[in-house]
Amino acid sequence: MSHDTTIPVAVFGSGGMLAGELLRLCASHPRLTPRWLATREPLALAGAHPHLAELGSGMEIESVLDAVASLAHSNEQVVAFFAMPHGESSKIWPRLRATLASAASRVCVVDLAADYRIASADVYEKTYNERHPDPSEVGRFCYALPELAAEPLQGKSRLAAPGCFATALQLAAVPAARAGILDTNRPWIFNGVTGSSGSGNQLRANTHHPFREGNLYAYAAQGHRHEVELLQAIANNPGRADVHFIAHSGPFVRGIHMTAALPLVKNTTVEDARSIFQNCYKNAPFARVLASGLPELRHVIGSNRADIAVSVRGGVLSVFVVIDNLIKGAVGQALQALNLSMGWPETLGLPRAGMGVV
């Protein structure tokens, strides 16, 4: 494909918060052109996303499905992002797949929801308390966390973006788990704080920002769904650790601050631990392992970067990870994975610098 050619993009769920962030990043991506913006109900997208200029009108889902299929059947390549609530992607993708038929290989599908992240239909059912709507596709999507699996993403046309907390959990634990320095006979403890944007733009009493401002509270104390994604990532490691993750709602809009307390199985210095993380992320342009100090949210907000720091005390490895939940925890990561799948530079169209002041 010529560098002067752009690929048309369809966004399903265009009125949502994630879609707004996706469209903002697509506006500066040199290889993508948003063309079809599907909404579940008639919606003036300029009203939903007034920060974005020259947005077209939202289209009915059926019309977008037909338009994508028509172009794919004309031997053109298309990218389709599913930016809808959990459970919706696995209803829309089968409809598009049936319309595409033999042209399905010309459409790269990127799911931002949880529908295709888990490689087992049984595990999905246990985690989300419902049967998977599209079980034949379970395991066919490539789990798209580039820092830990960049090479398998190349050439893939079915991408499942990790959850925001799941991203931070894995960035914190997987390098040490792969290095074999963690004790799987003792619990791995995680505490993560997220901003109100993680709850989307639907008003709910327990997530509405006025109730979070000046407040901090925990939730999902009996287990968070994103734990499963970490367990899936370390499934091939010797031993099976008990993962205890407590999520918290913080009094800010964007960002995730994750703290992991990981028991060590052998004597490990902080220098050794830092070296493990630096080696794991040495080819990852968006993962920065700090040589000293601890990461802060304001340094990564507005970027696709993850800042990571480690500390060792009393047989416990502490790992600190900060990310922007809407970018590195969602749409930026999805674009990063798409870049890799298309053979483009991994950093194309993605911000590496945080805003600094938020």
What residues act catalytically? 164
Q: Are strands 7-12 and 78-82 parallel, antiparallel or unpaired?
A: parallel
Q: Residue 30: name the closest of 10, 54, 68, 3 by CA.
A: 3
For residue 147, what is the enclosing H or E element?
helix 146-149
Measured CA distances, 162 to 98, 182, 187, 355 (Å): 26, 23, 23, 24
Tokens at 125, concatenated:
């059912």
Measured CA distances, 350 to 12, 51, 80, 304 (Å): 21, 18, 18, 6
Distance separating alpha carbons of residues 217 and 233, to the nearest angstrom = 28
DSSP letter for each residue of 211-253: HHTT--EEE-TT--TTHHHHHHHTTTSSS-PPEEEEEEE-SSS
Distance separating alpha carbons of residues 238 and 60, to the nearest angstrom = 49
Rg (CA), the chain: 20
